[in-house]
Structure 1
Amino acid sequence: MTGRLRKATGRYAGRTAQERQAERRRRFLDAALTLFGGEPGYRATTVAALSEAAGLSTRQFYEEFRTLEDVLAVLHLEVNDSAEEAALAALVETPDRPVAERAAAVFRAYAAHVTGDPRRTRITFVEIVGVSPRLEHQRLARRARWVDLLCAQARDAVERGEAVDRDYRVAAAAFIGSVNGLLHDWSAGWVDASLDEVVEELVRVLLGLLRT
Protein backbone atom coordinates (compact mmCIF):
# COMPACT_ATOMS: atom_id res chain seq x y z
CA MET A 1 0.00 0.00 0.00
CA THR A 2 1.40 3.38 -1.01
CA GLY A 3 0.67 6.91 0.12
CA ARG A 4 2.09 9.82 2.09
CA LEU A 5 3.69 9.19 5.45
CA ARG A 6 1.62 10.44 8.35
CA LYS A 7 2.93 11.61 11.69
CA ALA A 8 2.31 9.31 14.62
CA THR A 9 -0.52 10.45 16.87
CA GLY A 10 -0.33 8.00 19.80
CA ARG A 11 1.70 8.00 23.01
CA TYR A 12 5.26 6.70 23.09
CA ALA A 13 7.43 6.43 26.20
CA GLY A 14 4.79 8.32 28.13
CA ARG A 15 4.72 11.32 25.75
CA THR A 16 2.17 12.34 23.16
CA ALA A 17 3.04 12.88 19.51
CA GLN A 18 2.61 16.63 20.06
CA GLU A 19 5.06 16.57 22.96
CA ARG A 20 7.63 14.65 20.91
CA GLN A 21 7.20 17.06 18.01
CA ALA A 22 7.68 20.07 20.32
CA GLU A 23 10.86 18.48 21.70
CA ARG A 24 12.25 17.91 18.19
CA ARG A 25 11.44 21.48 17.21
CA ARG A 26 13.19 22.77 20.34
CA ARG A 27 16.26 20.66 19.60
CA PHE A 28 16.52 22.16 16.12
CA LEU A 29 16.15 25.68 17.51
CA ASP A 30 18.73 25.12 20.25
CA ALA A 31 21.19 23.71 17.72
CA ALA A 32 20.51 26.67 15.41
CA LEU A 33 21.21 29.13 18.22
CA THR A 34 24.65 27.55 18.57
CA LEU A 35 25.43 27.34 14.84
CA PHE A 36 23.80 30.58 13.66
CA GLY A 37 24.84 32.55 16.73
CA GLY A 38 28.37 31.13 16.80
CA GLU A 39 30.34 29.22 14.22
CA PRO A 40 29.89 28.85 11.33
CA GLY A 41 26.99 31.35 11.31
CA TYR A 42 23.67 31.22 9.50
CA ARG A 43 24.95 31.62 5.95
CA ALA A 44 27.46 28.77 6.27
CA THR A 45 25.10 26.31 7.99
CA THR A 46 23.42 23.53 6.02
CA VAL A 47 20.31 21.55 6.84
CA ALA A 48 22.47 18.47 7.21
CA ALA A 49 24.83 20.21 9.66
CA LEU A 50 21.94 21.56 11.72
CA SER A 51 20.25 18.18 11.82
CA GLU A 52 23.46 16.51 12.93
CA ALA A 53 23.98 19.13 15.66
CA ALA A 54 20.42 18.55 16.86
CA GLY A 55 20.90 14.77 16.81
CA LEU A 56 18.01 14.41 14.38
CA SER A 57 17.55 13.57 10.71
CA THR A 58 17.05 15.87 7.76
CA ARG A 59 13.66 14.19 7.24
CA GLN A 60 12.68 15.33 10.73
CA PHE A 61 13.92 18.83 9.93
CA TYR A 62 11.55 19.10 6.98
CA GLU A 63 8.69 17.87 9.15
CA GLU A 64 9.20 20.96 11.36
CA PHE A 65 10.52 23.66 8.99
CA ARG A 66 10.55 24.46 5.30
CA THR A 67 13.94 26.18 5.19
CA LEU A 68 16.80 27.34 7.38
CA GLU A 69 15.45 30.86 6.96
CA ASP A 70 12.32 29.74 8.82
CA VAL A 71 14.52 28.63 11.72
CA LEU A 72 16.35 31.95 11.80
CA ALA A 73 13.03 33.81 11.73
CA VAL A 74 11.75 31.90 14.76
CA LEU A 75 15.01 32.42 16.66
CA HIS A 76 15.00 36.15 15.96
CA LEU A 77 11.46 36.48 17.29
CA GLU A 78 12.26 34.41 20.37
CA VAL A 79 15.29 36.52 21.25
CA ASN A 80 13.34 39.75 20.78
CA ASP A 81 10.35 38.48 22.74
CA SER A 82 12.48 37.52 25.73
CA ALA A 83 14.35 40.86 25.60
CA GLU A 84 11.05 42.72 25.50
CA GLU A 85 9.79 40.72 28.48
CA ALA A 86 12.94 41.67 30.43
CA ALA A 87 12.47 45.37 29.61
CA LEU A 88 8.77 45.35 30.51
CA ALA A 89 9.50 43.55 33.77
CA ALA A 90 11.94 46.32 34.68
CA LEU A 91 9.22 48.90 34.02
CA VAL A 92 6.79 47.04 36.25
CA GLU A 93 9.35 47.02 39.04
CA THR A 94 9.94 50.81 38.83
CA PRO A 95 6.46 52.34 38.36
CA ASP A 96 6.92 55.42 40.55
CA ARG A 97 10.62 56.13 40.08
CA PRO A 98 11.95 59.23 38.25
CA VAL A 99 12.36 58.90 34.49
CA ALA A 100 16.16 58.61 34.74
CA GLU A 101 15.87 55.63 37.10
CA ARG A 102 13.17 53.96 35.01
CA ALA A 103 15.20 54.39 31.83
CA ALA A 104 18.33 53.01 33.47
CA ALA A 105 16.44 49.97 34.79
CA VAL A 106 14.89 49.23 31.39
CA PHE A 107 18.09 49.50 29.38
CA ARG A 108 20.12 47.65 31.95
CA ALA A 109 17.62 44.76 31.79
CA TYR A 110 17.52 44.83 27.98
CA ALA A 111 21.28 45.10 27.55
CA ALA A 112 21.98 42.40 30.11
CA HIS A 113 19.64 40.06 28.28
CA VAL A 114 20.83 40.53 24.71
CA THR A 115 24.52 40.64 25.65
CA GLY A 116 24.37 37.94 28.32
CA ASP A 117 24.69 35.29 25.61
CA PRO A 118 26.89 36.23 22.61
CA ARG A 119 24.78 33.95 20.45
CA ARG A 120 21.67 36.03 21.11
CA THR A 121 23.64 39.18 20.32
CA ARG A 122 24.75 37.81 16.97
CA ILE A 123 21.24 36.63 16.06
CA THR A 124 19.78 40.02 16.99
CA PHE A 125 22.30 42.36 15.36
CA VAL A 126 24.29 40.41 12.75
CA GLU A 127 22.84 37.22 11.28
CA ILE A 128 19.35 38.60 10.66
CA VAL A 129 20.54 41.55 8.56
CA GLY A 130 20.14 41.36 4.78
CA VAL A 131 19.05 37.73 4.59
CA SER A 132 15.90 38.31 2.55
CA PRO A 133 13.10 40.87 2.06
CA ARG A 134 10.93 38.77 4.36
CA LEU A 135 13.41 38.82 7.23
CA GLU A 136 14.23 42.49 6.66
CA HIS A 137 10.53 43.20 7.08
CA GLN A 138 10.48 41.15 10.28
CA ARG A 139 13.61 42.87 11.61
CA LEU A 140 12.22 46.34 10.95
CA ALA A 141 8.83 45.38 12.36
CA ARG A 142 10.46 44.33 15.61
CA ARG A 143 12.45 47.55 15.68
CA ALA A 144 9.16 49.43 15.24
CA ARG A 145 7.84 47.68 18.37
CA TRP A 146 10.76 49.09 20.34
CA VAL A 147 10.07 52.54 18.89
CA ASP A 148 6.42 52.23 19.94
CA LEU A 149 7.47 51.21 23.45
CA LEU A 150 9.83 54.17 23.74
CA CYS A 151 7.18 56.59 22.46
CA ALA A 152 4.71 55.25 25.02
CA GLN A 153 7.23 55.82 27.80
CA ALA A 154 7.93 59.33 26.48
CA ARG A 155 4.21 60.11 26.63
CA ASP A 156 4.13 58.81 30.18
CA ALA A 157 7.09 61.04 31.05
CA VAL A 158 5.27 64.03 29.53
CA GLU A 159 2.21 63.33 31.67
CA ARG A 160 4.44 63.17 34.75
CA GLY A 161 5.97 66.52 33.88
CA GLU A 162 9.36 64.90 33.24
CA ALA A 163 9.62 65.59 29.49
CA VAL A 164 8.76 68.22 26.91
CA ASP A 165 5.46 67.61 25.10
CA ARG A 166 6.37 66.89 21.46
CA ASP A 167 6.31 64.14 18.82
CA TYR A 168 9.03 61.65 19.80
CA ARG A 169 8.73 59.13 16.96
CA VAL A 170 11.72 60.28 14.90
CA ALA A 171 13.85 60.72 18.01
CA ALA A 172 12.81 57.26 19.23
CA ALA A 173 13.76 55.67 15.89
CA ALA A 174 17.16 57.39 16.01
CA PHE A 175 17.69 56.29 19.59
CA ILE A 176 16.79 52.65 18.92
CA GLY A 177 19.24 52.67 16.02
CA SER A 178 21.90 53.97 18.39
CA VAL A 179 21.09 51.28 20.94
CA ASN A 180 21.42 48.53 18.34
CA GLY A 181 24.64 49.92 16.91
CA LEU A 182 26.31 50.55 20.25
CA LEU A 183 25.42 47.16 21.72
CA HIS A 184 26.61 45.42 18.56
CA ASP A 185 29.94 47.26 18.66
CA TRP A 186 30.32 46.69 22.40
CA SER A 187 29.64 42.96 22.08
CA ALA A 188 32.19 42.77 19.24
CA GLY A 189 34.83 44.34 21.48
CA TRP A 190 35.02 47.60 19.55
CA VAL A 191 33.90 49.76 22.50
CA ASP A 192 36.24 49.93 25.47
CA ALA A 193 33.66 50.28 28.25
CA SER A 194 31.78 48.18 30.77
CA LEU A 195 28.15 47.30 30.18
CA ASP A 196 27.15 49.67 32.99
CA GLU A 197 29.03 52.48 31.26
CA VAL A 198 27.26 51.69 27.98
CA VAL A 199 23.87 51.74 29.71
CA GLU A 200 24.67 55.00 31.49
CA GLU A 201 25.63 56.62 28.18
CA LEU A 202 22.40 55.42 26.56
CA VAL A 203 20.38 56.83 29.45
CA ARG A 204 22.14 60.19 29.08
CA VAL A 205 21.30 60.24 25.38
CA LEU A 206 17.67 59.37 26.12
CA LEU A 207 17.34 62.07 28.77
CA GLY A 208 18.78 64.54 26.30
CA LEU A 209 16.06 63.59 23.81
CA LEU A 210 13.40 64.08 26.45
CA ARG A 211 14.87 67.49 27.31
CA THR A 212 14.05 67.05 30.98
Structure 2
Amino acid sequence: MAGKVRRPTGRYAGRSTQDRRAERRQRLLDAGMRLFGDSPGYRATSVAALCADAGLSTRQFYEEFRSLEEVLAALHLLVNDWAEQAAAEALAEASGLGLEERVAAAFRAYASAVTSEPRRIRIAFVEIVGVSPQLEHQRLSRRSRWVEFIRAEAEAAAERGEAAPRDYRLSSTAFIGAVNGLLHDWSAGWVDATLDEVVDELVLILLAMLLPPGRQTAGGPVTNG
Protein backbone atom coordinates (compact mmCIF):
# COMPACT_ATOMS: atom_id res chain seq x y z
CA MET A 1 0.00 0.00 0.00
CA ALA A 2 1.39 3.40 -0.98
CA GLY A 3 2.62 5.47 1.92
CA LYS A 4 2.81 2.52 4.34
CA VAL A 5 5.97 2.58 6.45
CA ARG A 6 7.49 -0.81 7.15
CA ARG A 7 8.85 -1.52 10.60
CA PRO A 8 12.62 -1.98 10.79
CA THR A 9 13.46 -5.67 11.09
CA GLY A 10 17.07 -5.37 12.20
CA ARG A 11 18.07 -7.48 9.20
CA TYR A 12 20.16 -6.61 6.17
CA ALA A 13 20.40 -8.88 3.14
CA GLY A 14 18.72 -11.59 5.18
CA ARG A 15 21.18 -11.32 8.08
CA SER A 16 20.49 -9.94 11.52
CA THR A 17 22.46 -7.08 13.07
CA GLN A 18 23.75 -9.54 15.66
CA ASP A 19 25.05 -11.91 12.97
CA ARG A 20 26.80 -9.09 11.11
CA ARG A 21 28.42 -7.79 14.27
CA ALA A 22 29.58 -11.30 15.18
CA GLU A 23 31.15 -11.65 11.74
CA ARG A 24 32.91 -8.28 12.07
CA ARG A 25 34.22 -9.20 15.50
CA GLN A 26 35.56 -12.50 14.16
CA ARG A 27 37.26 -10.75 11.23
CA LEU A 28 38.97 -8.37 13.65
CA LEU A 29 40.09 -11.25 15.87
CA ASP A 30 41.42 -13.14 12.85
CA ALA A 31 43.35 -10.04 11.79
CA GLY A 32 44.69 -9.66 15.32
CA MET A 33 45.88 -13.26 15.31
CA ARG A 34 47.73 -12.65 12.04
CA LEU A 35 49.31 -9.32 12.97
CA PHE A 36 49.94 -9.80 16.70
CA GLY A 37 50.99 -13.43 16.33
CA ASP A 38 53.33 -12.85 13.42
CA SER A 39 54.68 -9.64 11.92
CA PRO A 40 54.68 -6.85 12.96
CA GLY A 41 53.48 -7.99 16.43
CA TYR A 42 51.11 -6.35 18.90
CA ARG A 43 53.24 -3.36 19.82
CA ALA A 44 53.89 -2.37 16.19
CA THR A 45 50.28 -2.75 15.01
CA SER A 46 47.93 0.22 14.70
CA VAL A 47 44.14 0.24 14.67
CA ALA A 48 44.28 1.37 11.05
CA ALA A 49 46.55 -1.54 10.09
CA LEU A 50 44.33 -4.05 11.88
CA CYS A 51 41.23 -2.67 10.15
CA ALA A 52 42.95 -2.76 6.76
CA ASP A 53 43.86 -6.41 7.30
CA ALA A 54 40.30 -7.22 8.37
CA GLY A 55 38.76 -5.23 5.51
CA LEU A 56 36.77 -3.06 7.92
CA SER A 57 36.65 0.60 8.91
CA THR A 58 37.95 2.09 12.14
CA ARG A 59 34.36 3.00 12.98
CA GLN A 60 33.43 -0.66 12.79
CA PHE A 61 36.45 -1.52 14.95
CA TYR A 62 35.31 0.79 17.75
CA GLU A 63 31.81 -0.69 17.59
CA GLU A 64 33.35 -4.02 18.68
CA PHE A 65 36.45 -3.14 20.73
CA ARG A 66 37.62 -0.20 22.78
CA SER A 67 41.31 -0.71 22.00
CA LEU A 68 43.89 -3.02 20.46
CA GLU A 69 44.67 -4.20 23.99
CA GLU A 70 41.13 -5.52 24.23
CA VAL A 71 41.66 -7.50 21.03
CA LEU A 72 44.87 -9.00 22.44
CA ALA A 73 43.08 -9.85 25.70
CA ALA A 74 40.32 -11.64 23.80
CA LEU A 75 42.83 -13.62 21.75
CA HIS A 76 44.80 -14.63 24.85
CA LEU A 77 41.62 -15.96 26.47
CA LEU A 78 40.64 -17.80 23.29
CA VAL A 79 43.97 -19.62 23.03
CA ASN A 80 43.77 -20.63 26.69
CA ASP A 81 40.17 -21.78 26.31
CA TRP A 82 41.05 -23.94 23.31
CA ALA A 83 43.95 -25.51 25.21
CA GLU A 84 41.92 -26.11 28.36
CA GLN A 85 39.11 -27.76 26.41
CA ALA A 86 41.59 -29.96 24.53
CA ALA A 87 43.32 -31.09 27.75
CA ALA A 88 40.02 -31.83 29.51
CA GLU A 89 38.71 -33.83 26.54
CA ALA A 90 41.95 -35.81 26.31
CA LEU A 91 41.78 -36.65 30.02
CA ALA A 92 38.20 -37.82 29.65
CA GLU A 93 39.07 -40.00 26.66
CA ALA A 94 42.06 -41.50 28.50
CA SER A 95 40.16 -42.14 31.73
CA GLY A 96 40.69 -45.91 31.56
CA LEU A 97 44.45 -45.68 31.02
CA GLY A 98 47.34 -45.50 33.46
CA LEU A 99 48.75 -42.30 34.90
CA GLU A 100 51.61 -41.94 32.44
CA GLU A 101 49.32 -42.40 29.45
CA ARG A 102 46.73 -39.96 30.82
CA VAL A 103 49.34 -37.31 31.64
CA ALA A 104 50.98 -37.62 28.23
CA ALA A 105 47.63 -37.51 26.42
CA ALA A 106 46.42 -34.44 28.33
CA PHE A 107 49.63 -32.46 27.97
CA ARG A 108 50.08 -33.32 24.32
CA ALA A 109 46.50 -32.23 23.66
CA TYR A 110 47.23 -28.95 25.45
CA ALA A 111 50.45 -28.49 23.50
CA SER A 112 48.76 -29.31 20.20
CA ALA A 113 46.04 -26.71 20.83
CA VAL A 114 48.58 -24.04 21.74
CA THR A 115 51.25 -24.85 19.16
CA SER A 116 49.18 -26.01 16.19
CA GLU A 117 49.75 -22.52 14.81
CA PRO A 118 52.93 -20.57 15.74
CA ARG A 119 50.84 -17.41 16.10
CA ARG A 120 49.04 -18.94 19.07
CA ILE A 121 52.35 -19.42 20.88
CA ARG A 122 53.27 -15.78 20.37
CA ILE A 123 49.86 -14.61 21.59
CA ALA A 124 49.90 -16.82 24.70
CA PHE A 125 53.55 -16.60 25.74
CA VAL A 126 55.21 -13.57 24.11
CA GLU A 127 52.95 -10.70 23.04
CA ILE A 128 50.83 -10.82 26.22
CA VAL A 129 53.76 -10.23 28.58
CA GLY A 130 54.20 -6.79 30.14
CA VAL A 131 51.56 -4.96 28.11
CA SER A 132 49.64 -3.40 31.01
CA PRO A 133 48.63 -4.09 34.62
CA GLN A 134 45.23 -5.27 33.39
CA LEU A 135 46.67 -7.80 30.95
CA GLU A 136 49.26 -8.94 33.48
CA HIS A 137 46.39 -9.66 35.87
CA GLN A 138 44.61 -11.64 33.16
CA ARG A 139 47.78 -13.53 32.24
CA LEU A 140 48.54 -14.47 35.84
CA SER A 141 44.91 -15.37 36.51
CA ARG A 142 44.89 -17.84 33.64
CA ARG A 143 48.27 -19.12 34.77
CA SER A 144 46.80 -19.75 38.24
CA ARG A 145 43.91 -21.58 36.62
CA TRP A 146 46.38 -23.92 34.90
CA VAL A 147 48.21 -24.43 38.20
CA GLU A 148 44.94 -25.46 39.82
CA PHE A 149 44.17 -27.79 36.90
CA ILE A 150 47.49 -29.60 37.36
CA ARG A 151 47.27 -29.61 41.18
CA ALA A 152 43.76 -31.07 41.21
CA GLU A 153 44.67 -33.86 38.78
CA ALA A 154 47.89 -34.63 40.70
CA GLU A 155 46.14 -34.87 44.06
CA ALA A 156 43.38 -37.03 42.56
CA ALA A 157 46.07 -39.36 41.21
CA ALA A 158 47.74 -39.44 44.64
CA GLU A 159 44.44 -40.42 46.27
CA ARG A 160 44.22 -43.34 43.82
CA GLY A 161 47.76 -44.40 44.75
CA GLU A 162 49.16 -43.54 41.31
CA ALA A 163 51.16 -40.46 42.29
CA ALA A 164 53.37 -39.59 45.22
CA PRO A 165 51.23 -38.27 48.12
CA ARG A 166 52.31 -34.68 48.83
CA ASP A 167 51.28 -31.05 48.47
CA TYR A 168 51.39 -30.24 44.75
CA ARG A 169 50.82 -26.49 44.89
CA LEU A 170 54.45 -25.44 44.52
CA SER A 171 55.39 -28.12 42.02
CA SER A 172 52.36 -27.34 39.85
CA THR A 173 53.33 -23.66 39.88
CA ALA A 174 56.91 -24.57 38.97
CA PHE A 175 55.74 -26.78 36.12
CA ILE A 176 53.51 -24.11 34.60
CA GLY A 177 56.43 -21.69 34.90
CA ALA A 178 58.58 -24.15 32.99
CA VAL A 179 55.92 -24.50 30.28
CA ASN A 180 55.57 -20.76 29.86
CA GLY A 181 59.31 -20.09 29.95
CA LEU A 182 60.32 -22.89 27.60
CA LEU A 183 57.62 -22.18 25.01
CA HIS A 184 58.41 -18.46 25.17
CA ASP A 185 62.11 -19.10 24.64
CA TRP A 186 61.48 -21.65 21.88
CA SER A 187 59.19 -19.21 20.08
CA ALA A 188 61.85 -16.49 20.37
CA GLY A 189 64.44 -18.79 18.79
CA TRP A 190 66.53 -19.18 21.94
CA VAL A 191 66.08 -22.96 22.27
CA ASP A 192 67.88 -25.22 19.81
CA ALA A 193 65.27 -27.99 19.66
CA THR A 194 62.25 -29.01 17.66
CA LEU A 195 58.80 -28.34 19.07
CA ASP A 196 58.29 -32.10 19.48
CA GLU A 197 61.47 -32.28 21.57
CA VAL A 198 60.27 -29.41 23.74
CA VAL A 199 56.91 -31.10 24.34
CA ASP A 200 58.58 -34.45 25.08
CA GLU A 201 60.82 -32.81 27.68
CA LEU A 202 57.87 -31.10 29.38
CA VAL A 203 55.98 -34.41 29.55
CA LEU A 204 59.01 -36.00 31.27
CA ILE A 205 59.19 -33.11 33.76
CA LEU A 206 55.51 -33.49 34.58
CA LEU A 207 55.80 -37.25 35.06
CA ALA A 208 58.89 -36.82 37.24
CA MET A 209 56.86 -34.48 39.42
CA LEU A 210 54.03 -36.99 39.80
CA LEU A 211 55.51 -40.47 39.98
CA PRO A 212 56.74 -41.99 43.25
CA PRO A 213 60.55 -42.11 43.71
CA GLY A 214 62.28 -44.84 41.72
CA ARG A 215 59.38 -45.54 39.36
CA GLN A 216 60.40 -45.80 35.72
CA THR A 217 59.02 -43.71 32.87
CA ALA A 218 59.48 -44.23 29.17
CA GLY A 219 62.32 -41.70 29.33
CA GLY A 220 64.20 -43.39 32.19
CA PRO A 221 64.08 -43.57 35.97
CA VAL A 222 62.36 -40.92 38.04
CA THR A 223 64.57 -39.57 40.82
CA ASN A 224 62.19 -37.09 42.44
CA GLY A 225 61.81 -37.24 46.14
TM-score by length of structure 2 reads 0.87
Inter-partner Cα distance in structure 1 for 2:206 and 2:17 = 49
Partner of 2:79: 79
Paired residue type of 2:157: A
Identify the residue that residue 145 of structure 1 maps to in structure 2: 145
1:175 — aligned with what?
175
> After the TM superposition, which segments of 4 or more aligned residues of structure 1 sit over 4 Å from their partners?
none
Are residues 1:106 and 2:68 paired? no
Q: Looking at secondary structure, tell me which structure has more helix per residue.
A: 1
Kindly report the root-mean-square deviation, in angstroms, between the aligned alpha carbons of the 2 structures: 1.4
- Alpha-carbon distance between aligned partners in 2 of 1:125 and 1:198, rounded to the nearest angstrom: 15
Shift of 1:195: 3.5
Alpha-carbon offset, residue 164 of structure 1: 1.9
Residue matched to 2:32: 32
Aligned match of 1:52:
52
Range with bigger deviation, 22-31 or 182-191: 182-191
Q: Name the residue aligned to 1:19.
A: 19
Letter in 2 for 1:47: V
1:114, CA displacement in angstroms?
1.2
TM-superposed CA distance for 1:9, in Å, is 6.3
Give the match's secondary structure for 1:56: coil
* Pairing 1:120-199 to 2, within 5 Å after superposition: 120-199=120-199
How many angstroms apart in 1 are the aligned matches of 2:35 and 2:196?
29
Q: Secondary structure at the match of 1:79?
A: helix
AA partner of residue 127 (structure 2): E
Bigger Rg, which one: 2
Q: Distance in 2 between matches of 1:193 and 1:27?
A: 34
Residue 178 (structure 1) shift:
0.4
Identity of counterpart residues, as a percentage? 68
Of residues 176-185 and 37-46 in structure 1, the stretch that sits farther from structure 2 once superposed is 176-185
State the AA in 2 paired with 1:206: L
Aligned length: 205
Name 1:200's counterpart in structure 2. Answer: 200
Shift of 1:165: 1.7
Distance 2:113 2:140 in 1: 20
Q: CA deviation at 1:179?
A: 1.0
Query: Which one-letter code corresponds to 1:20 in the other structure?
Result: R
Structure with the greater relative contact order (CA < 8 A, sep ≥ 6): 1 or 2? Answer: 1
- Tell which deviates more after alignment, 84-93 or 195-204: 195-204
> Closer, same or farther in 2 for the Cα pair 1:132/1:18, shift >3 Å?
same
Please give the alpha-carbon distance, in whole angstroms, between the structure 1 residues aligned to 2:199 and 2:64: 39
- Give yes or no for contact 1:76–1:128 (8 Å, CA) kept in 2: yes
Question: Tell me, what secondary structure is at the counterpart of 1:39?
Answer: coil
1:3 aligns with none
Distance 1:50-1:9 versus aligned 2 partners, 3 A rule: farther
- 8 Å contact 1:31–1:50 — kept in the other structure? yes
> Which residue number in structure 1 is paired with residue 69 of structure 2?
69
* Residues 78 and 50 of structure 1, relative CA distance in 2, 3 Å threshold: same
Task: List gaps (5 residues or longer) in structure 1.
Answer: 1-7
